[in-house]
A and B are shown apart, each in its own frame.
Chain A
Amino acid sequence: MDLNTIWFLLIGVLIIGYAVLDGFDLGVGILSLFSRSEHERRVYLNAIGPVWDGNEVWLLTGGGALFAAFPIVYATVFSSFYLALMLVVAALIARAVSFEFRGKLEGPGWRKLWDWCFGLGSLIAGLLYGVAVGNVIRGIPIDESGNFTGSFLGLLNPYAILVGLVSLAMFTMQGAAYMCLKAEGEHLERMRRWTQGGWLAFVVLYLVATIASIFVAPHAFDGVLGNPLFWILLLVLLAAAAYLPLASRAARYGRAFLASSLTIIALVGLVAVGMFPRLVPSSTDLAHSLTIYNAASTPRTQMAMLIITLIGMPLVMAYTAYIYRVFKGKVVLTEESY
């Protein structure tokens, strides 16, 4: 396996880390839009309060790693998706500060403002991630010198919006599955229903999107049927997605969350299998696509980055696991809660 492939996998791991972890954060934000009381709103905030910031670092590190390993993709995609990315960042800022600002003043208007920032910020980010992924799968107009020739409105095509809805349903499912571990009583019951409803929406939308992909992005299916990894991931996806509602109905919330997370992992994995070795297909001419070879940094840089990752990420995973253990269990609001 060459370094380019290793980095393709590592970027995939970072995306998976982000989608699984910030995925439930974003889902919790979306669910908070449907809160029924002040107490419930605070349960949402405190359920993710200690961990959301660390979760978001997966995104920042992913951005840096993409810059280091595939700088041409970093430069081309981010400048192509200019306005969309600016909106994502604005949404992320709004939800990031709402945790701290919300509790600093009394008054229903003030709290409402930050509740909307938190909820809508999560929703917009969750939707636009999917739109961005949809566009990348479909391919974006890139000419032979690697320059984007499309427009912002071109990014809002039906297929990309469909993938956006898939991600919205997926994050809602993930958030609700997480909240089942954190909420109690009637709130828990509702989260259980949201898990199952989110699951149903996700399954239906994902099927539609997969069928749409065959027509919109046929290049994503080149040779995948002969790839054993494709079949393994598909099996994981089917098994996890089938098990999720069973676990949820049986009140095995830990397992349901695990199933939801596995679904996300397998889904990202399947997309990666379809893309490989392309990173960004060109919709004008597939030969102009950015691949793990023509968009890469030098082997020396990729090797240096690999060493940094091998030293750093095991530590990150160790203390992240520790933090999750410390904050395990239902949310109990105390004087020091947000």
Chain B
Amino acid sequence: MDPVLLSRIQFAVTAGFHFIFPPITIGLAWLLVVVEWRGWRSGDPTDVEMGKLFGKLLAFTFAVGVATGILLEFQFGTNWARYSKFVGDIFGAPLAAEGVFAFFLESTFLGLYIFGRNRVPKAVHWLSILMVAIGSVISAFWILVANSWQQTPTGFAVRHGRAELESFWAAVFNPSTVPRFFHTITASLVAGAFMMAAVAAYRVLRNREDEIGKGALRLSLVWGLVSAILVAFPFGHVHTQQVARTQPEKFAAIEGLYTSQQGAPLVLFGLVKDRPPELRAKIEIPGLLSWLAFGDANATVQGIDEFPVDERPPLWITFVSFHNMVILGLFFIAAMAWGVLQRWRGRLFEGRGYLKLLVYAVPLPVVACQFGWVAAEVGRQPWIVYHLLRTSEAHSQTVAAGDVLFSILLFGVIYLFLGGLWIYLMVKEAGHGLQPAAAKEVTA
């Protein structure tokens, strides 16, 4: 088999599986900063217990995230040796900075947070979860710096057959770093809020009097609504505008614009045919894409036809991923807004339907993150570093295809096993310490 394709599959599987966990841990860590603060200041046992419950879920999810992240630190070298040699002067620094500024902070203080609850003063304990949350955001920042540089490289010059650093800050703050950072962080907050809301709803469905569930639901819905709005507007919008400016072929692919036009329409729905590029059964709003991208309904937007065939990203997967992400994003706002409205009307805990919806919606923010990631990374193809190095010229030549296949199978099996267990045990832990509703009624 083709070693490049195998290495791409290997990266997609291992990075994709890893990326299930960080958004949840980032989101939960910040929610726990609030919960633990309330527990510390008020001493209210509900808040304290809430902190313990979600702290356990955080530690568990964090552990799987850490374990699956180990490979990522090494596989640029193992599978993408030519890439590593080409970008090493720039790409290694953010990875190392992530270790120095983020991994140590997160891991060390998570140990203190989990094991130190009764060993250190309450203020220090709260500080430990704050450091975990800050560390997780710094970690996201540096890894997104590295990724963004692949998308929109700046601050370098190609010399001696490789990209050499010209300006550290220009490389760090390349055009897509800041938009991507805010979009990803707010997406993580949404993922954390849906996780907390699902656990809370699950508990309230089991026992209407469960104070932990009710408290967590009140908090996570408001938090989730705010972040669900922010992830789309302004941050998703700004990020897409930046893509339109800096990577027009990716923009054309994700939006489904196959011919350049003035007053380009926004495609709401369509069936994509890759070759030749064609969109069937489409529903579109005239002029809206031009207006969204450039603030002018008559602006010209470049279609995919303007780019050489061998420089176009795959059309179907980018279009489908991006549009599904947007649809999910709108659903998140609607779902959270409904909950906040019900809370305001004092009816949040009455109906069962909405609470069930929250339980089953728990994977959706993770799915949306994966869609967004696929749209971003596949949209960058055929380049591994945009307009500098092709993916087909970046893999390790000395590694046999069979070796790569072996690693796909090895980690595929391990990850399937871990993923299945993680889901099963999360559900089990979610109900931890829950009083059976029937027993409550007897005592009442």
A64/B92 in contact, CB under 8 A: yes
- Assign chain A's interface to a size class: 35 or more
In the complex, whether B428 has a CB less than 8 A from a CB of chain A is yes
Cα of A105 to Cα of B60 in the assembled complex, Å:
13
Q: Which residues from A are CB-within-8-Å of B91?
A: 67
In the complex, whether B403 has a CB less than 8 A from a CB of chain A is yes
A 278-315 to B, binary, CB cutoff 8 A, 1 in contact else 0: 00000000000000000001101100110011001100
In the complex, whether A116 has a CB less than 8 A from a CB of chain B is no
Q: Which residue of B lies closest to A76 (CB)?
A: B81
B104/A89 in contact, CB under 8 A: no
Give the number of A-B contacts (CB < 8 Å).
223
In the complex, whether B67 has a CB less than 8 A from a CB of chain A is yes
B112/A93 in contact, CB under 8 A: no
Query: Distance (Å) between the CB of B357 and the closest chain A CB?
Result: 27
Query: Distance (Å) between the CB of B200 and the closest chain A CB?
Result: 20
Q: Which residues from B are CB-within-8-Å of A83?
A: 403, 406-407
Main secondary structure of the interface of A (DSSP, over half): helix
Cα of A57 to Cα of B73 in the assembled complex, Å:
11
Q: Could you say which of A52, A68, A79, A327 has the most chain B C-beta atoms within 10 Å of its C-beta?
A: A79
In the complex, whether B12 has a CB less than 8 A from a CB of chain A is no
Q: Which residues from B are CB-within-8-Å of A76?
A: 81
Given contacts A54-B104, A71-B84, A334-B118, contact A308 B96 (CB under 8 A): yes
Given contacts A71-B92, A86-B406, A297-B92, contact A60 B81 (CB under 8 A): no
Q: Which residues from A are CB-within-8-Å of B114?
A: 49-50
A90 contact from B76, B88, B112, B414, Cβ within 8 A: B414
Cα of A221 to Cα of B109 in the assembled complex, Å:
43
A71/B85 in contact, CB under 8 A: yes
B 229-253 to A, binary, CB cutoff 8 A, 1 in contact else 0: 0000000000000000000000000
Q: Could you say which of A300, A301, A305 has the most chain B C-beta atoms within 10 Å of its C-beta?
A: A301
Q: Which residues from B are CB-within-8-Å of A74?
A: 76-77, 84, 88, 92
Cα of A300 to Cα of B429 in the assembled complex, Å:
49
Stretch from A197-205, A252-260, A316-324 forming part of the interface with B:
A316-324
A300/B111 in contact, CB under 8 A: no
Q: Which residues from B are CB-within-8-Å of A153?
A: none
Interface residues of B in 333-365 (CB under 8 A from A): none
Query: Distance (Å) between the CB of B84 and the closest chain A CB?
Result: 4
Given contacts A49-B111, A89-B74, contact A298 B89 (CB under 8 A): yes
B168/A93 in contact, CB under 8 A: no
B70/A93 in contact, CB under 8 A: yes
B396/A301 in contact, CB under 8 A: no
Q: Which residues from B are CB-within-8-Å of A99?
A: 63
B97/A53 in contact, CB under 8 A: no
B425/A323 in contact, CB under 8 A: no
In the complex, whether A51 has a CB less than 8 A from a CB of chain B is yes
The 4 closest A-B pairs by CB, nearest first: A71-B88, A61-B99, A78-B77, A68-B92
Query: Which residues of B are in contact with A by a Cβ distance under 8 Å?
Result: 59-60, 63-64, 66-71, 73-79, 81-82, 84-85, 87-93, 95-101, 103-105, 107-112, 114-120, 164-166, 168, 396-399, 403, 406-407, 410-411, 414, 418, 421, 425, 428-429
